[in-house]
Amino acid sequence: MSVLDVLRDFLVNDLHWDPRRAPLTPDFALIDNGVVDSMGIFMLVSFLEEQFAVEVKDEEIVPENFGTLGAIAAYVERKRQPA
């Protein structure tokens, strides 16, 4: 499974987004549409840290990295690159 698919599954199964309300395309706005709220973001951050073995810094929890599925996937890929 691609990173995008893993993330989509997480949003549906753990954050309980109903895909019938709106499909989770890579550019679908996660915050404005209420897919991820103030609690969801922390579940999501913990999930990323566990699933992809990355360390998410406070200052990285920003819309540029978490605003859409595509943004989160790109962020995870960047974090997984060896420094």
What residues line the site for another protein (CB under 8 A)? 12-13, 16-18, 20, 31-32, 34, 36-42, 45, 58-59, 61-63, 66
Beta carbon nearer to another protein, 17 or 73: 17
Nearest to 56 by CA among 69, 39, 43, 38: 43
Checking phi first, is residue 56 left (phi over 0); if not, alpha (psi -120 to 50) or beta? beta
Instruction: Tell me the one-letter amino acid at 47.
Output: F
**CB-nearer residue toward another protein: 2 or 20:** 20
Residue nearer to another protein on the CB measure, 16 or 82: 16
